[in-house]
Amino acid sequence: MSLEDNRRQYDYGKLTRDSLSTNPFEQFSLWMQQAIDGNVLDPTAMSLATVSAEGKPWQRMVLLKDFDEQGFVFYTNLGSRKVQDIKGNAQVSLHFPWLLLDRQVIVGGRAEQLPVSKVEQYFLSRPKESQLAAWASKQSSPISSRQALETQFSQVKAQFAEGEIPLPEFWGGFRVVPEEIEFWQGGENRLHDRFCFKRDKSEWNITRLSP
C-alpha cells in the first residue's frame, strides 16, 4: 500500500480576517451551526488530548454537550484514563475535525470539573439506555469479554427497572476553559487559512498563522 499519492485539493472556501468574528465563541458557534446544517457526521465529536503526570499523551473522541464563553463541556466516567490524566495535568486540547467542510478547530486550555448539580441535570436528561450504560461500565478498566459487559448491563437494567435512575457517584463532567482557539480552513495548493485567538486577561488577541 502506498499513501504518497493519496491527496486532494482543498477548495471548499476561504477564511479572511474581515469575515472572522472578533469573538472566538461567536465564530465557533457559526461554524458549529454550519457543520450541523452541512450534514457533517457527528459534528459535536471532538478529540480530547490529555497528558499524564508522567508526560504520556493520549487521545480519544468525546462529545461536546454545551459551550459558552466560559468554555466547552463534556461528561465522562470519573475513573477513566482521561480523568486520571486530568487530575495529574489539567492542561488539555480539543480538536473538532469537520473534514467535510475542510475545517478544523483546535482548543487548548484547562479542564475544570463541573459541580454535581450541573452533572445531575444533564444525566437525568439522557436516554434511559445511556444512563444504564454509565452504571454498567467501569470505563478504562479491563473486562474479560463483550458478554461480561452485556451481563453487567442486564443486571443494572434489572436493578433500576422501576423509578428514576440516580446519578452514579463515579460519573461527572468537565469544562475546558480555553486559553487559545485556532480556526483552520483548508485552502488551494495547501495555502490554508489559520487564525489563532489567544486569551490575554479579558481580551482575545488574533494572529494569522502560516499554513
Burial classification of residue 31, based on how many CB atoms lie within 10 Å of its CB (0-12 exposed, 13-18 middle, 19 or more buried): buried
210 CB-contact burial (10 Å; exposed 0-12 / middle 13-18 / buried 19+): exposed
Which domains does the chain show, CATH number per domain? 24-124+167-209 (2.30.110.10)
With cell 477548495, the residue in question is 11
What pLDDT does 198 receive? 98
Give residue 40's pLDDT. Answer: 95
Instruction: Report, as residue numbers or ranges, the catalytic residues.
Output: 190
Q: What's the pLDDT at 9? A: 73
Q: What is the structure's pLDDT at 79?
A: 95
Asked if 178 and 92 touch (Cβ cutoff 8 Å), the reply is: no
Which residue type occupies 145?
A: S
pLDDT at 3: 81
Mean pLDDT by 10 residues, the chain (211 residues): 77 88 98 96 98 95 98 97 97 97 97 98 96 92 93 94 94 98 92 95 94 94
pLDDT at 6: 77
DSSP β-ladder status, 57-63 and 45-51: antiparallel
Residue 73 pLDDT = 98
| Helices H / strands E in the chain, number of each | 5, 9
